[in-house]
Structure 1
Amino acid sequence: MTKLNLRLPDDLYTRAKALSAADDRSLNSWLVSLVRRAVEDGERRFAQGG
C-alpha cells in the first residue's frame, strides 16, 4: 500500500471529517472509497470513448 500526504483546506477537511463520521468510517477509508469510485467512473468513460 502506498502512503500519500494530502493537503486540504481547513474547511474542506472539517466537512469531509464530518461526512466520514456520519458514514461511520475513518476519514482515510472514506476518501479511499471516493477515489476508487472516481477512478472506476473515469475508466468506464474512457472505455466508452468519451
Structure 2
Amino acid sequence: MVNFNVRFPDDIHARVRAQAATDRRSINSEILHLIEVGLTTVSADAGPPGGNPATPAPLSGKPDSSPV
C-alpha cells in the first residue's frame, strides 16, 4: 500500500469527516470509497475516444521520454 499525503481545504475535510461518520467509516476509508466510486463513474461514463468533452486534452510540453 502506498502512503500518500494530501492537503484538504477545511470545508472539504469537514464534509468528508461528516460523511465518514454517517457511513460509519474512518476518514481514510471514506476517502478511498469516494475515490473508487468516482473512478468507477468516470470509467462507466467514458464513451468512444474523443466523445467525452470532459476528458482533458493531452498535456503539451516535453515529449514522452519513456522507452519505446
Q: TM range, normalised to the smaller chain?
A: 0.7 to 0.9
Larger RCO (CA within 8 A; separation ≥ 6): 1
Q: Percent identity over the alignment? A: 31
Uncovered stretches (5+) of structure 1, i.e. residues with no partner: none
**Whole-angstrom CA distance in 1 between matches of 2:15 and 2:34:** 14
Structure in which a larger fraction of residues adopt helix: 1
CA RMSD of aligned residues (A): 1.2
- TM-score between the two structures when normalised by the length of structure 1: 0.79
Deviates most, 13-22 or 31-40: 13-22
Q: Structure 1 residue runs of 4+, over 3 Å off?
A: none
Uncovered stretches (5+) of structure 2, i.e. residues with no partner: 53-68
- TM-score between the two structures when normalised by the length of structure 2: 0.62
- Count of matched residue pairs: 49
